[in-house]
Homo-oligomer: A and B are copies of this chain.
Amino acid sequence: MKKTILIYGFVVALLVVILKVLEYKYFVRNLSVEIYIGVVAVLFVSLGIWLGGKVNSGKLIHQDKELKSREINTEQVKELGISKREFEVLELISAGYSNQEIAEKLFISLSTVKTHSSNLFLKLDVKRRTQAIQKAKELNIL
């Protein structure tokens, strides 16, 4: 950002110099005022567009998106009353694993996985694992 400001100052100074030169030529050669105005307009509008692009895309948009999503995460999980184990199951479900595979990964029985996922669906207020994935992403907990 500091770099942008420096470059901005430099470019403005440069343009002022260019303007001065043009100003001088105007008096000497009596150039058409329209051309003069046109050049000035194009130069400054270009500068503005470039500046606007730097400022808008580089800062505002990005930071907003990434900060918010990570904060809501853990809070939402607690609010919904989702336990650690249930959350782990949720992660594996959304990674595409079957209940049996999840059981093996977590070293628990298929029964337990079903219990966890069933409770999870209640807390997420969904009926299927695919809905759970969808909702979890909507709620930013995945």
| Interface residues of A, Cβ cutoff 8 Å to B | 12, 15-16, 19-20, 23, 33, 37, 40-41, 43-53, 55-57, 60-61, 93-98, 126-135
Contacts and interface: CB of A to CB of B under 8 A. Distances in A.
Given A23-B33, A52-B49, A56-B53, A134 B96 contact: yes
19 contacts: A16-B41, A19-B37, A19-B40, A40-B40, A44-B45, A44-B47, A45-B51, A46-B48, A47-B48, A48-B50, A49-B49, A49-B52, A52-B56, A56-B57, A94-B134, A95-B134, A96-B128, A98-B128, A129-B130
A53 B47 CA distance: 12
Contacts of A50: 48, 52
Contact of A55 (B33, B41, B49): B49
B61 A130 contact: no
